[in-house]
Chain A
């Protein structure tokens, strides 16, 4: 079940975002329940945003997870590249979840700025994991410039709408030879399982767990959903049929 991402081997294919958790205690329990080994963090002014008053890094240390800083909130390549470099300096990691937002209402990425930032960061030695749209061509371009994975949105961030265009996710999977991580839009366990059944190598989600009524139960559900979806993807599902096909044979039926 393990997979390679950015030259590292992971057992869990679930990447968990920390945004939206009510407090650090719940977050820690959810991280542990999810079984994740890679967790995102943002970079914000000291003492302002949730988690920035201290304790978040220590929590992640205790959980033994690897850190994936993001460039959330950036709207231009220039800004995102600076935030990535600040994150590298702060967290001693050259891994970056690259986000360059192009639209305020949907928080969908700006493909032009994203590609430009990805190119610059790859050249600077970063392991770039770009949050992208479900456009197969853009995903291929991102892989071509050296991104370590592509992370298409299933649907807008925090929307819980699931995988809006399964066909495009399949096309992305077929079109690149780097890992495909379904990022954003997951609402519940079946969405995560579907993403994996479509051939994704992993799932990144935050709100679905952190904003669930019971984050720990949902984190557990997501852990199993990702595993179940992965197993099903490789298990060769039956073809869809219009009519029934009895599983119990007619042969040997008694005459009564």
Chain B
């Protein structure tokens, strides 16, 4: 299925969870937050939250900022 992850298209296996996707993208999930279709998905819900075709996922972390 097709996702949009941080603004870019990404083909992934079906039934991928948010936790799976995060571990594909970052080595350590510390300091990472996720939103799916504009809604916050709390860390505790990552394993159970299965992604759907067409989902827009934001995977965010700390960056330099004032």
Residues of A within 8 A of B26 (CB): 46
User: B62 near A51 (CB under 8 angstroms)?
Assistant: yes
Partner of A19 from the list B35, B40, B66 (CB cut-off 8 Å) is: B66
Known contacts A48-B6, A57-B30, A89-B43: A40-B60 contact under CB 8 Å: no
Q: In the docked arrangement, what's the CA distance between A20 and B65, Å?
A: 7
Q: In the docked arrangement, what's the CA distance between A162 and B25, Å?
A: 42
Known contacts A86-B33, A89-B43: A46-B65 contact under CB 8 Å: no
User: B64 near A45 (CB under 8 angstroms)?
Assistant: no
A17 at the interface (CB under 8 A from B): yes
A142-169, CB < 8 A from B: 157
User: B64 near A42 (CB under 8 angstroms)?
Assistant: yes
User: B40 near A89 (CB under 8 angstroms)?
Assistant: yes
Q: In this complex, what residue of B is CB-closest to A205?
A: B66
* B: number of interface residues (CB 8 Å): 25
Q: In the docked arrangement, what's the CA distance between A70 and B33, Å?
A: 14
User: B63 near A49 (CB under 8 angstroms)?
Assistant: yes
**Least Cβ distance of B49 to chain A in Å?**
13
A41 at the interface (CB under 8 A from B): yes
**Least Cβ distance of A24 to chain B in Å?**
8
Cβ contacts A37-77/B at 8 Å (1 or 0 each): 00011111110111110101100000000000110100000
Q: In this complex, what residue of A is CB-closest to B41?
A: A89
Binding site for A on B (CB under 8 A): 6-7, 25-27, 30-35, 38-40, 42-43, 58-66
